[in-house]
């Protein structure tokens, strides 16, 4: 068992952000056995009481959730006039929030699907709760189109349902494509999340002491017994779902961007929108994962599973997508000038120096300047700094959608129809309340479901590899296949 003891040395290496030639940096620290992984993850769900911070956070989240409920209730009984919308600014906080939350969701799918297909092993530590974040973010996003239609009881008209009025949604409108894109995205993400969780739910079931937990986890574990056949089918299903989700990472936010890009409003009518929106979505999504991961790993003692290397990698993704977003911002200005279209030019100059200049510059400083700090490894691996920076990115990405939507609408072709949007307290309450919905769901998830994909994390530990464990020591890692 010399190989194992070597691995345990590897596992105890405290800084796993360093890359050493010929060695894989460990993704699980201070653990030698699979049992330790299981115990660490399950401890969160099995504890009699959650950490005090959880109760405080949950109370706060429920408070915000009730603000959301109150604001939506007031909206429904009174009408959309309670928002600050006017003519020409017919979309403002509602659609800003919608795009913001859909964007947040993208990191989950990227981590779970694309990184899976590319065999990026570090995804295993964070994919479970990134996917959970995706689902909760899409729930928040879905709320907004539902309530912004005015007569909420007709929200089902969003869907093409045969009816005696022979009335159909406009199939040529991206707003309808959006309905399909987002609902497909939600369904596939939910299936993916749940499928991946089945073995872990079975673990919780097997360890549960109480009858309620046994039956509860038992039902959702679908009778999983860990047989060879179960694993075989599970792996197949997971791979298929990963393949199905992969195009969704690109398609959903592309379709969301069509809501704007296919219109003829200067500031919206831009071909760069689909890739620019997708990059922005992944950018904001990863920032949100960092925002959630940093406190979660502290609070629930998961630092050995969500290691600094995981965070470092995510910060690199934020840096890359942040550069793309910055490129898109500058390209918009270039095209506004290069096109020679005076309305286009005006829209962008107005965006930066018009009445909403402050929103524009908040966006630029948060989304373009902030991520550039991640070029420095010291900053990428500093917990407090990355947490603050991720918050900046979240703020910046919210403002990006606000800037795109509101500044373009407020000043269109005709100066006579220009107007200024000012949010009402209901606008602000709904926006803040959505965070309550998100965090309520997320905190419940942390408490009652396995936050880390135990079964998957175990596969990336050196102990899972019966052949390669000793290879690193002798520097033969690359020739591993030659031995067989």
> Does 162 contact other proteins by CB under 8 A?
yes
Minimum Å gap between C-beta 204 and other proteins is 10
Tokens of 316: 């690199």
Minimum Å gap between C-beta 78 and other proteins is 21
Nearest to 110 by CA among 232, 276, 255, 252: 252
> Does 1 contact other proteins by CB under 8 A?
no
CA dist., res. 33 & res. 338, Å (int) = 61
Q: What DSSP letter does each residue of 228-269 carry, written as one string?
A: HHHHHHHHHHHHHHHHHHHHHHHHHHHHHHHHHHTS--TTT-
Q: Which residue has the tokens 């099995």?
A: 46
Minimum Å gap between C-beta 177 and other proteins is 21
Minimum Å gap between C-beta 38 and other proteins is 14
Helices (H), 33-92: 34-46, 52-78
Minimum Å gap between C-beta 225 and other proteins is 7
> Does 48 contact other proteins by CB under 8 A?
no
Q: What 3 state SS string does 158-218 have?
A: HCCCCCCCCCCCCCCCHHHHHHHHHHHHHHHHHHHHHHHHHHHHHHHHHHCCCHHHHHHHH
- Residue (123 or 205) nearer to other proteins, CB: 205
- Residue (42 or 336) nearer to other proteins, CB: 42
- Residue (42 or 67) nearer to other proteins, CB: 42
- Residue (216 or 470) nearer to other proteins, CB: 216
CA dist., res. 65 & res. 218, Å (int) = 30
Task: Give residues with Cβ within 8 angstroms of 47, minimum separation 6.
Answer: none
Minimum Å gap between C-beta 219 and other proteins is 8
> Does 165 contact other proteins by CB under 8 A?
yes
Q: HSE, CB side, 13 Å, CA atoms: give it for residue 187.
A: 7
> Does 240 contact other proteins by CB under 8 A?
no
Nearest to 45 by CA among 458, 446, 453: 446
Quick note: the x/- pattern for other proteins over 120-159, rule CB under 8 A, is: ----------------------------------------
Out of 49, 172, 225, 484, the residue judged to bind other proteins by CB under 8 A = 225
Of all residues in the chain, what percent are helix, strand and coil, respectively (each to 5)? 75, 0, 25
- Residue (54 or 448) nearer to other proteins, CB: 448
> Does 42 contact other proteins by CB under 8 A?
no
Out of 167, 240, 342, 432, the residue judged to bind other proteins by CB under 8 A = 167
CA dist., res. 463 & res. 466, Å (int) = 7
Q: Total residues contacting other proteins (rule CB under 8 A)?
A: 17
Out of 66, 163, 330, 339, the residue judged to bind other proteins by CB under 8 A = 163
Helices (H), 403-460: 408-410, 425-448, 454-459
> Does 223 contact other proteins by CB under 8 A?
yes
Minimum Å gap between C-beta 229 and other proteins is 15
> Does 414 contact other proteins by CB under 8 A?
no
- Residue (215 or 464) nearer to other proteins, CB: 215
Nearest to 266 by CA among 88, 412, 399: 412
Please answer whether residues 75 and 82 qualify as being in contact, where contact means their C-beta atoms are separated by less than 8 angstroms: yes
Q: 183 to 222, contacts with other proteins by CB under 8 A?
A: 202, 205-206, 208, 214-215, 217-219
Task: Give residues with Cβ within 8 angstroms of 401, minimum separation 6.
Answer: 95, 96, 99, 100, 103
- Residue (184 or 214) nearer to other proteins, CB: 214
Out of 21, 52, 166, 481, the residue judged to bind other proteins by CB under 8 A = 166
Residues binding other proteins (CB under 8 A): 162-167, 202, 205-206, 208, 214-215, 217-219, 223, 225
């Amino acid at each position: 068992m010399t190989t194992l003891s070597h691995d345990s040395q590897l596992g105890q290496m405290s800084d796993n952000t360093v890359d050493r030639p010929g060695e894989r940096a460990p993704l699980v620290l201070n653990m030698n056995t699979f049992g330790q992984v299981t115990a660490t993850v399950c401890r969160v769900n099995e504890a009699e009481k959650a950490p005090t911070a959880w109760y405080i956070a949950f109370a706060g989240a429920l408070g915000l959730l009730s603000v959301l409920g109150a604001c939506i209730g007031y909206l429904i009984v009174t009408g959309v006039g309670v928002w600050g919308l006017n003519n020409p600014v017919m979309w403002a906080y509602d659609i800003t929030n919608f795009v913001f939350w859909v964007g947040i969701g993208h990191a989950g799918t990227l981590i779970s699907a694309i990184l899976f297909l590319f065999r990026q092993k570090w995804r295993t530590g964070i994919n479970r709760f990134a996917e959970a974040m995706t689902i909760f973010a899409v729930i928040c996003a879905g709320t907004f189109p539902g309530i912004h239609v005015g007569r909420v009881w007709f929200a089902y008209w969003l869907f093409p349902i045969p009816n005696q009025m022979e009335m159909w949604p406009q199939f040529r409108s991206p707003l309808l494509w959006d309905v399909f894109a987002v609902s497909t995205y939600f369904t596939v993400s939910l299936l993916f999340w749940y499928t991946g969780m089945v073995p872990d739910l079975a673990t919780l079931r097997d360890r549960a002491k109480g009858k309620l937990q046994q039956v509860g986890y038992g039902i959702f574990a679908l009778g999983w017994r860990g047989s060879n056949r179960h694993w075989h089918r599970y792996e197949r299903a997971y791979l298929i779902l990963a393949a199905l989700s992969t195009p969704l990472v690109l398609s959903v936010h592309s379709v969301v961007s069509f809501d704007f890009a296919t219109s003829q409003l200067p500031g919206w009518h831009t071909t760069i929108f689909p890739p620019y929106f997708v990059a922005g979505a992944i950018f904001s999504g990863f920032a949100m994962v960092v925002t959630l991961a940093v406190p979660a790993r502290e609070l629930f003692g998961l630092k050995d599973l969500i290691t600094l290397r995981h965070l470092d990698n995510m910060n690199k993704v934020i840096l890359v997508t942040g550069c793309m977003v910055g490129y898109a911002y500058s390209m918009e200005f270039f095209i506004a000038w290069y096109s020679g279209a005076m309305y286009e030019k005006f829209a962008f100059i107005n965006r930066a120096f018009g009445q909403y200049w402050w929103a524009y510059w908040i966006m630029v400083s948060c989304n373009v300047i902030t991520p550039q700090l991640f070029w420095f490894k010291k900053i990428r691996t500093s917990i407090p700094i990355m947490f603050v920076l991720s918050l900046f990115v979240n703020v910046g990405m919210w403002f990006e959608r606000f800037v795109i939507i509101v500044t373009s609408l407020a000043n269109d072709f005709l100066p006579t129809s220009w107007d200024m949007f000012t949010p009402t307290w209901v606008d602000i309450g709904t926006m803040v309340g959505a965070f309550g919905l998100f965090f309520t769901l997320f905190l419940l998830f942390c408490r009652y479901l396995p936050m880390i994909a135990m079964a998957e994390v175990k596969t990336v530990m050196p102990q899972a590899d019966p052949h390669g464990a000793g290879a690193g020591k002798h520097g033969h890692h690359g020739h591993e296949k030659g031995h067989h």
